[in-house]
A and B are shown apart, each in its own frame.
Chain A
């Protein structure tokens, strides 16, 4: 861990007193369980286009919530007025909502117990909070990126952006758990756009840098080679613009982690959220084919498929010390040797399927603000690398006719997590074990279990990258969460490739 410390401006806020008042009132009114959550989340967005700072905006969400289990039902209320009177009122509102809800709650709510964590703190691993860096310095970096890109003939327009978050949470409940935590994360991005003068086709090429649970040092310490990427993107764009249109058909695919992380997110991460598998998301994004009866029997993928869930990996976007129900975070297996062996849980799920984790939650509860109720959100779900030193070039070398896919672009998956379709930043032909130039207009489409069972090999540790997203959406009302996915490069056999202009009926 680095030297990052809890922000004193957060520590100065009256959350302890408000929490004591709210919990006392909830206890007085007979709540069996009550928790208090106080959050301050600070955001800054910077957007640059063609050498100009287009937009800069800072936002701070500050408020608290009370959640109770009363008469067998959940009750949730939230507010932003930071007074003891309002804390009392919010507790009373939560109880009142539970009373209304109890009439329509046919199975009483029960949650898994958790050891008491009395007055613990946790801070994520970063060196320099980006919100403490002068805006002009950050803007200048992004402006410089767009100017460098536009220095090339193939680049007509370039954009760059930086989203930065500092999230502070205080949690307290009737058992005596109290947690005070702080996380910092950021998402840098750039994109180069151009047109092919002969065909009139336009397209873009983006950075494949992932968002990370790190600070400003991610942009300056050389750990990620921004210079190399800025230098190569214009030529990659030029090549893409004049590339031949892909021939649709069946191909072997080698997929780079910068694309595969998203396939993992959609087809494994979401599919193994237990609440989804039990139907709780059915009215929103749907259910899962990985139903509970298939635990330990479903052959999710080939025997080189090993997937873990955790909220502990260094710099992981879902990483934290204790979740939003006071549960200490953990790591566990989801798929082992291709077989489904685990799920992501919150305390209600941990109680419902006590056999999964010794009667305990595995710490996946999260709310994106004080105004929203905590729900089970995705842990960092990651595909493990091979223990052997297999390189991406080795995987490419095994392919006679295929495509090498780098960078993510569009995504879509159906309501049971079966049929998916993805595009990418660039697709290279593989001919007799070698790369043979880009093709354009490609998308890959498959059924989840067919796809993962066609995975012949995974790359070794040196190919492993921790990718991720800032914008995972779940639940009603909708909530946003950030999550990471680590994976190596991987080789898949006989995957369907579509030509997107054929799909549009325009060839």
Chain B
């Protein structure tokens, strides 16, 4: 017995043809995914996964306004899609008027609409995997223990609307990360990064870098809590800037509930929030960080609207030359705030005018300070200032007269990323970076400089190793 397996495009067409609502958006996402995980110099778990999901958003004009229904599900057959459509239509008919109602984006079919989704599979690791085996051997022989993870996925999105729009986007997402410890588990180091296809990731190099960084910890120094001249590598800057971005919703700012709110009402758009020369932007076409160039939204909330599905996205400056320029908008919040429509984009770049050289140059220039590897467990403590708390981890190195002279204990820090953008003293050039905190599952497309902060608040000592 065989059952037809329908293409994602045909499922979108079927949804739009079946809906009896006044308007409809149908989004199909085909995802393939492969991963390898290791610990204690051996592979632990692994996986390959295929998923095809469809979201149907039905729009119905009622007496009082416009209502919607949103239904999503794994759907590989027409029958499954029909069930989603019927449920979405019914939910819209029973729904209350939506405050964010706008006409759906119109348009036509993109040139690549008929192209199939390109899959990834376990073979994306064909070069990496044997090198990893070699790295296990090397590490074991030299007294290192490796723990890590690699992941690669392809998600192809097909978005169609009853207003004629047909858009397709292929999104590769990949990342690697490896922690190395010595056998006494008293020293720890980490390397990691984002990659689009694993052609640029070598496990032996990964292990060698870890060996070098573990070597920096030969001399161990205990330091107390306090404010330190600290070099944040691009990965840590990515961690911090992602939170500065995620909390940059226009509606919450406008309604007096964020660091971007102006006391007395409204947003701080137009005010200086960072040093001159600082630009924080997103751009779906940014080379190496390419992401979906149109809005996709399965539900409406403060920062997204189902009515905005299919709206084109372009370069958006959140902060330009130190001035707050935009906050995350829907057409609804743009109306509330009187600002342009600047929806969320799935990448982020921080650049600093005059930021030159590499992190090594920042180190060479530092008389006495700390060089971090990365951060962890970052959470918002106080929305007034966007004060965050977090930890350092896997290598805090002491810099003396431009050289790394040893390793220091870990710390818990309390800092605001917005405030840091006014206090840093030096910046390197912007490079592709990977947020350890958010990169795995939530946000892996960033480019940031390293930043040196003269008075970084290491609030308490963490004895974690």
Contact = CB atoms under 8 A, between A and B. Distances in A.
A477 B256 CA distance: 37
Nearest to B83: A60
Interface string B435-465: 0000011000000000000010101111111
B382 to A, nearest CB: 5
A55 interface: yes
A96 B34 CA distance: 13
A135 B412 contact: no
A63 interface: yes
A77 B412 contact: no
Contact of B95 (A61, A135, A195): A135
Interface residues of A, number: 93
B298 A503 contact: no
Contact of A419 (B70, B95, B394, B461): B461
A62 B378 CA distance: 33
Given A105-B42, A107-B42, A58 B257 contact: no
Nearest to A443: B381
Output the residue of A45, A83, A100, A195 with the most chain B CB within 10 A.
Answer: A100
A371 interface: yes
A236 interface: no
Contact of A97 (B122, B178, B257, B384): B122
B431 interface: no
B287 interface: no
Interface string A253-283: 0000000000000000000000000111111
Given A97-B46, A100-B122, A419-B464, A412 B390 contact: yes
B133 A93 contact: no
A205 to B, nearest CB: 13
Interface in A127-178: 134-136, 139, 156-157
A287 B147 CA distance: 11
Given A104-B43, A286-B464, A410-B379, A62 B74 contact: yes
Given A283-B178, A503-B459, A505-B419, A412 B389 contact: yes
Interface in B269-296: none
A414 B391 contact: yes
Interface stretch (A46-54, A319-327, A427-435): A46-54
Given A81-B5, A418-B462, A419-B464, A103 B129 contact: yes
Interface stretch (A25-33, A68-76, A355-363, A389-397): A68-76
Contact of B393 (A47, A58, A101, A415): A415
B257 A60 contact: no
A208 B415 CA distance: 27
A418 B411 CA distance: 11
A282 B147 contact: yes
Given A55-B300, A283-B179, A419-B464, A139 B96 contact: yes
Interface string B15-46: 00000000000000000010111111111111
B393 A202 contact: no
B384 A201 contact: yes
Nearest to A59: B72
B177 A477 contact: no
Interface stretch (B47-55, B106-114, B160-168, B355-363): B47-55
A451 to B, nearest CB: 13
A372 interface: yes
Contact of B460 (A76, A134, A445): A445
Contacts of B181: 282
Nearest to A440: B382
B130 to A, nearest CB: 7
Interface of A is mostly: mixed
A83 B47 contact: no
A157 B255 contact: yes
Contacts of B261: 202
Nearest to B392: A414
A500 B47 contact: no
Contacts of A82: 76
Nearest to B73: A60
Interface in A392-440: 410-419, 421, 423
A483 interface: no
Interface string A65-97: 000000001111111111111000000010011
A500 B298 CA distance: 36
Nearest to A417: B464
Given A57-B72, A104-B133, A476 B256 contact: no
A136 B382 CA distance: 35
Contact of A478 (B48, B71, B264, B440): B440
Interface string B80-98: 0000000100010011101
Contact of B2 (A47, A85, A100): A85
A357 to B, nearest CB: 21
B95 A104 contact: no
Contacts of B94: 134-136
A400 to B, nearest CB: 25
B440 A476 contact: yes
A293 to B, nearest CB: 12
A504 interface: yes
A384 interface: no
A63 B74 contact: yes
B99 A52 contact: yes
Nearest to A81: B76
Contact of A412 (B1, B378, B410): B378
Contacts of B460: 419, 421, 445, 496
Contact of B70 (A58, A284, A371): A58
B216 interface: no
Contacts of B71: 57-60
B74 A58 contact: no
Interface string B138-182: 000000010111010000000000000000000000000111010
Contacts of A52: 96, 99
Interface string B301-334: 1100010000000000000000000000000000
Contacts of B129: 100, 103-104
A129 to B, nearest CB: 16
Contacts of B69: 56
A134 B94 CA distance: 9
A481 to B, nearest CB: 14
A506 interface: yes
A200 interface: yes
A318 interface: no
A106 interface: yes
A269 to B, nearest CB: 15
Contact of B37 (A56, A278, A476, A503): A476
Contacts of A136: 94-96
Contacts of A49: 302
A58 B72 contact: yes
A83 B298 CA distance: 28
B245 interface: no
A296 B261 CA distance: 53
Nearest to B57: A57
B74 A477 contact: no
A412 B412 CA distance: 9
Contacts of A74: 44-46
Nearest to A476: B149
B208 interface: no
A201 B132 CA distance: 53
A454 interface: no
A498 to B, nearest CB: 7
Contacts of A478: 440-441
16 contacts: A54-B100, A56-B299, A58-B87, A74-B44, A100-B122, A101-B43, A101-B46, A104-B136, A105-B42, A202-B257, A283-B149, A287-B185, A373-B46, A412-B379, A421-B381, A501-B382
Given A53-B95, A106-B42, A282-B181, 12 more contacts: A45-B299, A61-B74, A202-B257, A284-B149, A371-B49, A410-B381, A415-B410, A445-B460, A447-B463, A501-B382, A504-B415, A505-B457
9 shortest A-B CB distances, which residue pairs? Answer: A57-B299, A416-B464, A60-B73, A419-B462, A503-B414, A476-B149, A282-B147, A200-B263, A55-B299
